[in-house]
Amino acid sequence: MIRIIKIGGKLIENDAVLNGLCDELSACYRDSVLVHGGGSMAGQLSARLGIRTRMIDGRRITDRETLEVAVMAYAGWANKKLVAALQVRNVNACGLSGCDQKVILAHKREVKEIDWGFVGDIDRVDTGVLAGLLHRQVMPVISPITYDGAGQLLNTNADSVAGAVAVALSRIDDTELIFCFDKPGVLLDVNDADSVIPVLDKEKYAGYLEQGAIHAGMIPKLDNAFKTIKAGVKSVRLTDPCHLDGGTVLR
C-alpha cells in the first residue's frame, strides 16, 4: 500500500512535531509520499518583506507578489526543512513542486465572483514520476506549487494536492490518505482528546451531522475525504503527526 501523508506548515514549524513525524516515517513508512503546506510560513515571510496578505473566508488571494512568496516559502523553506529532517534519519527524500518533472499540471482558476489570482486547480498528476521514485526507495516530498505547462507557477491548496496524488496513485496500487493536524483524530467533543471516533463511514457520518456532533470546522475536510474514497482511495485517516497509525479512519 502507498501512503500519502499531508502535513500543514504550522506543524512543520514545531520542531518537536516535525521530529516526531520524521521518526515515524523513518521507522515504518518507506512506501510513502509526503505532501505539505506552509501557509503560516508564507504569512511570516510576507510580513518580513512588507507584503500585505489578503484572505477571503480563510483562503489566500495569490497576486503576483504573493505567488513569489508562496514559491519561496512552500517550495523552498518548508520543503527543504522536511527533506533535510528526513535525510538525517536515512530516509532518502526528494523535494518536488508541480513543475519538477511535470509531476502536477494545473490551470489558473477561472474568475467568477472572486479573482483568486494565481491559484491552480489540478488537471493531472504524473504517477510514473512518483512510482519511479518509490520504486527506488526515494520518498517524494511535494510542495503545493503547481504549474500550467506553459511556464506559469500556481499556488494550489495542499489538501487538494494530497487528494489528487492519492486518487492518481490508487490506479496503480491501494492508497491510504493521511491528514495530519493538531488533534488526535475526529473528536465527538473538541475539548476531550479521548473522544476520538475510531472508524467513520458515510452512514455514521450522516448520523453525526444530523446530531450536530461533529465540529463545523471538520466538515469540509471530511466531505473532501469521502470524495477521494469514492474516487478510488482505499481509506483516509485523520490523526496527529506523531501517531500515523492512530486517529480516525474513514472508509
Residue 60, marked binder: yes
Which residues have a Cβ under 8 Å from the Cβ of 193 and sit 6 or more positions away? 183, 184, 187
Confidence of residue 227 (pLDDT cuts 50, 70, 90): very high
Residue 58 clears pLDDT 80, i.e. is over it: no
| Res 224: pLDDT | 92
Q: What's the confidence (pLDDT) of residue 216?
A: 80
Over residues 188-218, the pLDDT tens digits come to 888 899 999 999 999 999 999 988 888 788 8
Give the pLDDT confidence score for residue 213 in this predicted structure: 87
pTM of this prediction? 0.94
Task: Give me the pLDDT at residue 11, please.
Answer: 87
Provide the total of helices (H) and of strands (E) in the chain, helices listed first. Answer: 9, 14
Known binding residue 136? Answer is no
What DSSP character marks residue 53?
P
CA dist 239 and 180 (Å) reads 5
Q: Which grid coordinates belong to 148? A: 500550467
Res. 104 pLDDT band, cuts 50 70 90: very high
Task: Please state which of the ranges 9-18, 113-122, 155-164, 197-206 shows the lowest mean pLDDT.
Answer: 9-18
Give the pLDDT of residue 87. 96
Q: Is the pLDDT of residue 53 over 90?
A: no
Which domains are present in the chain? 2-180 (3.40.1160.10)
> 3-class DSSP state for residue 116?
coil
pLDDT recorded at residue 95: 98
pLDDT for residue 218: 86
Q: Is 98 annotated as a binding residue?
A: no
Does 29 have pLDDT greater than 80?
A: no
Task: Return left, alpha or beta for 25; rule: phi > 0 is left, psi -120 to 50 is alpha, else beta.
Answer: alpha
Average of per-residue pLDDT values in the chain: 93
- Is 38 a known ligand-binding residue? yes
